[in-house]
Amino acid sequence: MSLDYTFRIQAPHRPGSLARVAGAIGEGKGLIGDVTTLNVGREASEREITIEVKDHDHAGHVSALIGELDDVKVLWYRDRALIKHEGGKLTVEPRQPVKTVQDMRDVYTPGVARACTAILEDPALARRLTMIGRSVAICTNGTRVLGLGDIGPVASMPVMEGKAVFYRQLAGISAIPILIDTKDPDAFVETVKHIAPGFGGIHLEDISAPECFEIEARLIEELPMPVMHDDVHGTAVVGVAAAIVACRHAGLKLEEQVVGQIGLGAAGFGLASLMVDAGARKVVGSDPNEASHDRAREKGVEILDLDTLMREAEVVVATTGVSGLIKPETVREGQVILALTNPNPEIEVEDALAAGAVFAADGTSVNNVLGYPGVFRGALLAGAVTINTEMKLAAAEALADLTDESDLVPDALDEKVHRRVAGAVRAAAIESGVAHLDHAPAGL
């Protein structure tokens, strides 16, 4: 996997200097990305240049070549991703700034006592008078981090911070990472139950299967608030939306197709289940892990071997983590292929199309950041006690309807997309009877 390194370089302020630096980078097999001018002096200029390299040793080689140029200095070079994570990605800021003594009296003593008393008399007011109604706990034990595996809770913190960044930026929700240092489902569930009163919803993340299914089921049953394992359901929402759009590109309707799900882990099981709920004519699945079969069958998924699935399915979705698993010779004329493993899919898009697929896509744009912010915002706005199938399907359909003709999914960084998804989820919560609008937060 390539890495982006940022190099801070000082070079003479005269014609040709930057070209010489670029030449050295090219000689060292580096690929230039962003170039930012920091300052321009009478004698020298400083710039930060992002360079794609193979590894740290390669970065050192490129640095040495640049440093050999006359009057050019490499002031430092560092992994760009680590720079972006310095100090963490989150902070806590007040919504009500305290600027006067009266402000202090209102938000703290003595005014705060009236808010406490009001909540004591009517606990539902906590969602309106505190941050509880617009906050989510992101709970993990770090046992199944995408692409990294079981790295534990502390090492998974950058992922949780990233999730929280998107919650805030895209949905206006305050999300707090909660790291739970246990692999025991009982201990995990009890911990979440103890911290749950401080939040409006529980987002489960990067928990290994099958424990993740038990943990989620128990928390849904025992907590009166939205609980969702994002790896299962967030991925499913975005995957079903992508399948709807892919079928449209191919002139098909999802409800008339046989859908084949390759891989029945957390993401695959969620996708297959929501495909059943979305009304696909038939859903078949394949996974070498027999422990996943009964769970899938309970959701109406027929278990097949891989070759049979490829022969029967008209829409194929793969979430296995196994690059090259789908062989071109098994692709049938007119199939829709969504090979969603990143960064190397089960089959390359070009190979699938050359083999006869009518439409093919990889997981580059199918990111569950499109799902969870809007789903939880909609649930919180409805005062929902759960996130049900109707709400997930509403989110998937909204995403599909928001997708431009040339794309597979809408722009994940477009705030309007998440607001539209939230609106659809809120409406579905009300219509399906799980909303309590009197519990909806103020100021979200």
Active site positions, annotated: 108, 163
CA distance 217 to 224: 13
Asked if 415 and 382 touch (Cβ cutoff 8 Å), the reply is no
Place of tokens 């008399």: 121
Write the DSSP symbol of residue 43: S
Asked if 288 and 320 touch (Cβ cutoff 8 Å), the reply is no
Residue 330, judged by CB atoms within 10 A of its CB (0-12, 13-18, 19+), counts as: middle
Alpha helices, H only, 122-251: 126-129, 152-155, 157-171, 185-195, 211-222, 230-249
CA distance 95 to 103: 12
CA distance 308 to 323: 20
Which of 361, 434, 344 is CA-nearest to residue 392? Answer: 434
The torsion angles phi and psi of 207, rounded to 5 degrees, stand at -110, 135
Write the DSSP symbol of residue 44: E
Tokens of 281: 């004519």
Which of 19, 85, 55 is CA-nearest to residue 63? Answer: 55
The torsion angles phi and psi of 13, rounded to 5 degrees, stand at -90, 80
